[in-house]
Amino acid sequence: MKLPTLNDNPFMKPVEWMALALLCGLIFCVLPLALDGFRLNLVGKYLTYAFVALGLVICWGYCGILSLGQGVFFGLGGYCMAMYLKLEASSVENTKIQSTPGIPDFMDWNQITALPWFWAPFKSLPLTLIAVVLVPTLFAFVIGAAMFKRRVGGTYFAIITQAIAAILTILIVGQQGYTGGINGITDLRTLHGWDIRTDAAKTILYFVNGGLLVACVLVAQYVKRSKLGRILVAMRDKEDRVRFSGYGVASFKIFAFCLAAAFAAIGGAMFTLQVGFMSPSFVGIVPSIEMVIYAAVGGRLSLFGAIYGTLLVNWAKTTFSESFPELWLFGLGALFIAVVLAFPNGLAGVWRQHVEPRLTRRPKAASPAALPQGAPAE
Amino acid sequence: MFGEYSLGDLGAIFAMQGFAGLILFSVYVLMALGLAIIFGQMGVINMAHGEFMILGAYVTYLCSGFFQAHLPGIFPAYFFLAMALAFVAAGLLGMVVEWALIRHLYKRPLDTLLATWGLSLILQQAYRSIFGAREVGVELPSWMMGSVQATDTIEIPINGLFVMAITVLITLAVAGLLFASRYGKQVRAVMQNRVMAGAVGIDTGRVDRLTFGLGCGIAGVAGSAFTMIGSTGPTSGQLYIVDTFLIVVFGGAASLLGTIASAFSISQTQSTLEFFLSGSTAKVITLLAVVAILMLRPQGLFTLKVRR
Amino acid sequence: MAGNERGLAGDLGLESALRRRLLMGLAAVPAASLLPRLAQAAGPPTASVNTTGLAVTDTEVTVGILHSVTGTMAISETGAQQAEKLAIEEINAAGGVLGRKIKVIQEDGASDWPTFAEKAKKLLVNDKCAAVMGCWTSASRKAVLPVFEQYNGMLYYPTFYEGLEESKNVIYTGQEATQQILASLDWVAKEKDAKTFFFIGSDYIWPRTSNKIARKHVENVLKGKVVGEEYFPLGHTQFNSVINKIKLTKPNVIFTDVVGGSNVAFYKQLKAAGIDLSKQVLMTISVTEDEIDGIGGENIAGAYACMKYFQSLKNPNNEKFVAAFKKMWGEKTVIGDVTQAAYLGPYLWKLTAEKAGSFDVDKIAAASAGVEFKSAPEGYVKIHPNHHLWSKTRVGKALPNGQFEVVYESPDLIEPNPFPKGYQ
């Protein structure tokens, strides 16, 4: 791969600006106009997974750390948001039939008579918004610091994160008085007095979600194009050389992992808002691996690819499972295998290899001066 | 908490509890042995390992049905044949999978994870289409379901003894194969340096295929043995996968002895904790302890001294 | 009948909202009672039976079925879904509902709760289903409940469950926890002279709530003692440690609500450990004929299950139902408690629609209280104003052939009480 030097490296290449414009056009114009409210809400749900895929591109594609526990961060973000919404829905008037009014219904069923201490901060919206990002990121920091400092990587890291996902699921299901158990936290109604269940609210949330996603793409793009991004790639390809050059490899890895966790957490919080509940089934191993697949199908090296990959896989899942539920699992399995064997760089790889050359060859021949000087030749 | 029980009772319980731990240990070793070969020796993350086990269980199910219908006379002994068939079926499928899928991916271990996860989804759906979504009951010969009365209060389940015997046999066979045969030497040579092994005339492709087949075959036997204690359904395999991987990783992936030591420590911890705490809590604490120790000692309990 | 109900509601001190709903339900009865006869003739005009834009034409009415066809729950939900299809086919063969044939739209919940919510919304918003039969786990019901309340749909939910819920938009055709447990605990205490109990469950809301209710009943009413209470993660397959604890504590009764694949492991290990179920009393609330298919009849023979329905029930309704079910789905299929409860759904909806003379969800919800289904396989059932069913509790003893022998049947219908006072 030819790498341009840092100096002639603009924030985004023209092709990438185009891709961004296309993505914005798709999210903000085409989909809202083309789809009814129900389908748009579905797309909104898919896009929350795209946050996770985006994080995985940074942490897996660029830094080489495959985490099979992204569901943990998605879930933690989602649970933080759900706790706030649940407290708001469990006002004293709403819960006056309970033996202890003012606490969430599932606590009352489990003979808990006072709000547990760790629920208390979630009475406040600002604290909740901070917690949504901070709690998962801190958790990622603890895991990352323990593992990367001791140079755990590759397959070991993948398996340990997977075990963490399993542990957290068992814990959430087992502590049902504090977490809502296997049913999760359900029946969420309002966000700071604003009813999130109406169609209008769902449309607004869709746009907020889209906006946040684009913002995350820009952050990821910034990281990718910065010196930091270069070091991440260098680490992925030859970790020892980077270490011998005097870089603290662990800190960079921790950073990438935390960033991915923060993205996943934002996705989780938006998921809770749009879907209206959170349950341990998004924390476990299966959703975590599915999220890796979204990134793999889209292309683990491409930020935009990850988003399209997420949309494509989920769209296929919904469509196929509506008409041929049996075929769906065969199809999904085959997709995994095909992506790994035939298209290791996913959709983005196919695009770069087959579509882009055809698109760029002709304009290049017509007006070579149109490209800014020093732009990397593909 | 023991104040109200007599000393004799307590002695019996602790004996049986120790035995329960040993059964769990055997189960873990059986689960992990195939994976230790595939993951530890070959570096392939086989997420479909659980589905290979379930293949063995379904083979046993088919055998039990066949023997009941056609050869009721030798039904009491059918289980041995079922285990052999389970080994062959899972091993053959493993070799096909290696040929079609895994051999392209030896340089990309993380990608084997994704590909084999895809494979596991396909196998699950295949089982569901063939055998139905419900769990199937495997009828066992009646001699397997009883227990041996050791003393008045101590009863030892026969199927537990059976699983333990199978585990010992298979472990010895695998150890013999890997450490005392020509094939084993080739396996170890290929795993340590594939290119060099090829250069001295070892057919690395064949060794890989046989080794993968062996690992899957052992998974099949494990699945067959599990019909005695667990359930058989299209998705049962997924239940085992996390535990199995943790055991192998905790033991130090490249060491068979490590796998056995780790299975022993994890099973004893869990079994003891289960006795004093609730089952869920015991499971969480055990897994947490394993993860915490792995964070402190990422190479696992036992490591081979290899030059990197 | 109506007066009787009012009396009961008063006696039990039902909440005021409930009482209001009850009165509304009663008000709807006289107006609606004339209409069924009309319906049998030709079917009233669409404009009169459908004022809220449901998918009802002059010849058809659309009903949704929402169960998991794929994923881990497909194992359990298959039977429910088959029973619903059978009931709908029978209703159509007998002329349909209000002169209209039922058209089924089936969706797959894929064992995934947001998918359930998503598909429920599709069934209500896109397909405008007049009613939906579906869900199995509590988690899936909790996920779809806000959808049904927001878009005003009607859900017929078949599974026995933990209670603590009541909605205008749901008819619970299974038992809530007190209805399932209490009578059978009384029976076991009396028949088997049981004083000590050991509880084992899977670790989630239904077993925990059920055991909580059982514990209160054992301690406060039966004056017995709970000597152990254990929970295991879903899918757990190693029970030897807890079996040792059982041997140590020697309870009169082992009371279990272990679900799914864990059941198979539990009973096989129990048998292998030498616990003989013909001597040790074991009572389960989670094993139906469906589960025994996987466990193997010989491994569980002698255990007692408390349910409201067993396939072996001797009555003409049930014999007809079992024959029809096997004809449609194969000789080898078995019918468990939930399957039968699922079969009730379409019939209860049909009867309610005919009583209300309308498919409108509000009218159905209001008319539901007091609807009687006399030819239910389990025997006579009636919808309580709290939208659960009055039904009997039965105790069955598992036989080696995978069937149950009914050993006890509560003399009267038991009142559903999803928010039991004194048991929370």
Q: pLDDT at residue C350 above 50? A: yes
**Residue in A187, A321, A322 closest to C145 by CB:** A187
Are A270 and A55 in contact by the 8 Å Cβ rule? The answer is no
Written as one string, the DSSP assignment of C272-299 is HTT--TTTSEEEESS--HHHHHHH-HHH
- Phi and psi for A230 in degrees, rounded to 5? -60, -45
What band does B279 get if pLDDT is binned at 50, 70 and 90?
confident
Q: pLDDT at residue A364 above 50? A: no
In a domain, A358, yes or no: no
pLDDT the model gives residue A374: 36
In a domain, A19, yes or no: yes
Contacts of residue B267, defined as CB under 8 A and 6 or more positions apart, other chains included, come to B21, B22, B24, B25, B27, B28
- The domain spanning residue C59 has which CATH number? 3.40.50.2300
Considering only residues 316 to 335 of chain C, which have any Cβ-Cβ distance to chain B shorter than 8 Å? none
CA A56, A60, A61: angle at the middle one, nearest 5? Answer: 100
Q: pLDDT at residue A232 above 70? A: yes
C402 plus C281 within the same structural domain: yes
Looking at mean pLDDT, say which of A222-226, A366-370, C363-367 comes out highest: C363-367
The domain total for chain C is: 2
Report yes or no: A35 at the C interface, CB cutoff 8 Å: no
Packing angle between helix C316-329 and helix C74-93, nearest 10 degrees? 110
Share of chain A above pLDDT 70, in %: 91
Which domain range does residue C57 map to?
A: 2-174+315-391
pLDDT the model gives residue C18: 43
Domain positions in chain B are 19-235
Packing angle between helix B279-296 and helix B256-276, nearest 10 degrees? 140
To the nearest whole Å, the CA of A260 is away from the closest chain B CA by: 18
CB contact under 8 A, B275 and C245: yes
Task: Match 């075959």 to its residue by tokens.
Answer: B217
C99 plus C222 within the same structural domain: no
C277 plus C321 within the same structural domain: no
What is the number of CB-based contacts under 8 A between chain A and chain C?
Answer: 90
CB contact under 8 A, A38 and C419: no
Share of chain C above pLDDT 70, in %: 89
Give SS3 for A40: helix
CB contact under 8 A, C164 and A109: yes
Q: What is the mean pLDDT of residues A172-192?
A: 87
Report yes or no: A200 at the C interface, CB cutoff 8 Å: no
Q: pLDDT at residue B78 above 80? A: yes
In a domain, C417, yes or no: no
Q: pLDDT at residue A372 above 80? A: no
Are A114 and A101 in contact by the 8 Å Cβ rule? The answer is no
Share of chain A above pLDDT 90, in %: 37
pLDDT the model gives residue A8: 54
Q: pLDDT at residue A89 above 70? A: yes
**Using CB atoms, which chains have 3+ pairs under 8 A with A?**
B, C
What band does A378 get if pLDDT is binned at 50, 70 and 90?
very low
In a domain, A278, yes or no: yes
A22 is written with which tokens? 């296309």
- Name which of A120-124, B220-224, C162-166 the model is least confident about: C162-166
Measured between alpha carbons, how far apart are the two ends of chain B, in Å? Answer: 52
Are C178 and C423 in contact by the 8 Å Cβ rule? The answer is yes
Give SS3 for B151: coil
Find chain B residues with C-beta within 8 A of C298's C-beta.
139, 142, 145
Find chain C residues with C-beta within 8 A of A326's C-beta.
69-70
B292 is written with which tokens? 């915490």
Task: Match 């005097």 to its residue by tokens.
Answer: A246
Q: pLDDT at residue C32 above 70? A: no
CB contact under 8 A, C237 and B229: yes
Q: pLDDT at residue A376 above 70? A: no
Contacts of residue C61, defined as CB under 8 A and 6 or more positions apart, other chains included, come to C54, C55, C96, C97, C98, C100, C101, C102, C103, C130, C359
Q: Which has more pLDDT, A303 or B148?
A: A303
Give SS3 for C156: strand
CB contact under 8 A, C113 and A279: yes
> Scanning every residue of chain B, which has its alpha carbon at the shortest distance from the alpha carbon of C242?
B275
To the nearest whole Å, the CA of C99 is away from the closest chain B CA by: 36
Are A69 and A157 in contact by the 8 Å Cβ rule? The answer is no
In a domain, C414, yes or no: no
Are C157 and C170 in contact by the 8 Å Cβ rule? The answer is yes
> Scanning every residue of chain B, which has its alpha carbon at the shortest distance from the alpha carbon of A327?
B125
Amino acid at A315: W
Find chain B residues with C-beta within 8 A of C72's C-beta.
235
Give SS3 for C416: coil
DSSP assignment, residue C56? B
Name the residue among C249, C243, C290 with its Cα closest to residue C271.
C243
In a domain, C416, yes or no: no
Find chain C residues with C-beta within 8 A of A277's C-beta.
113-114, 117, 142-143, 146
> Scanning every residue of chain C, which has its alpha carbon at the shortest distance from the alpha carbon of B121?
C71
Residues A282/A288/A293/A296 CA torsion (nearest 10 deg): 130
Written as one string, the DSSP assignment of B24-85 is HHHHHHHHHHHHIIIIIIT----TTHHHHHHHHHHHHHHHHHHHHHH-GGGGGGHHHHHHHH
The domain total for chain A is: 1
Find chain A residues with C-beta within 8 A of C121's C-beta.
38, 41
What band does A322 get if pLDDT is binned at 50, 70 and 90?
low
**How do beta strands C304-307 and C281-284 pair?**
parallel
In a domain, A319, yes or no: no
What band does C11 get if pLDDT is binned at 50, 70 and 90?
very low
What band does B58 get if pLDDT is binned at 50, 70 and 90?
very high
What is the number of CB-based contacts under 8 A between chain B and chain C?
Answer: 132
Are C70 and A331 in contact by the 8 Å Cβ rule? The answer is no
Which domain range does residue A193 map to?
A: 14-284
- Phi and psi for C101 in degrees, rounded to 5? -75, 145
Q: What is the mean pLDDT of residues C261-277?
A: 86
Count, residues in chain B: 308
pLDDT the model gives residue C8: 36
What band does A362 get if pLDDT is binned at 50, 70 and 90?
low
C263 plus C358 within the same structural domain: no
In a domain, A362, yes or no: no
Question: In terms of DSSP H, where are the helices of chain B?
Answer: 7-35, 49-70, 78-100, 109-131, 158-180, 182-192, 194-199, 204-226, 236-251, 256-276, 279-296
Name the residue among A168, A183, A213, A182 with its Cα closest to residue A69.
A168
**Residue in B9, B135, B159 closest to C264 by CB:** B135
C88 plus C140 within the same structural domain: yes
pLDDT the model gives residue B194: 82
Q: What is the mean pLDDT of residues A329-338?
A: 85
pLDDT the model gives residue A140: 96
**Residue in B45, B121, B294 closest to A329 by CB:** B121
pLDDT the model gives residue C2: 35
Q: Which of B106, B131, B295 to mutate to test the interface with A (most CBs of A within 10 A)?
A: B295
Q: pLDDT at residue C36 above 70? A: no
Find chain A residues with C-beta within 8 A of C112's C-beta.
281
C403 plus C378 within the same structural domain: no
In a domain, C422, yes or no: no
Q: Which of C199, C211, C237, C291 to mutate to test the interface with B (most CBs of B within 10 A)?
A: C237
Q: Which has more pLDDT, C321 or B178?
A: C321
Q: What is the mean pLDDT of residues C138-167?
A: 92
In a domain, A331, yes or no: no
C71 plus C157 within the same structural domain: yes
Are B161 and B86 in contact by the 8 Å Cβ rule? The answer is no
B139 is written with which tokens? 């009828």
> Scanning every residue of chain C, which has its alpha carbon at the shortest distance from the alpha carbon of A172?
C204
Q: pLDDT at residue B174 above 70? A: yes
Find chain A residues with C-beta within 8 A of C126's C-beta.
38
Q: What is the mean pLDDT of residues C229-249?
A: 86
Q: pLDDT at residue C1 above 50? A: no
Find chain B residues with C-beta within 8 A of A150's C-beta.
295-296, 298
Contacts of residue C59, defined as CB under 8 A and 6 or more positions apart, other chains included, come to C100, C101
- Name which of A249-258, A323-332, B17-26, B122-131 the model is least confident about: A323-332
CB contact under 8 A, C125 and A38: yes
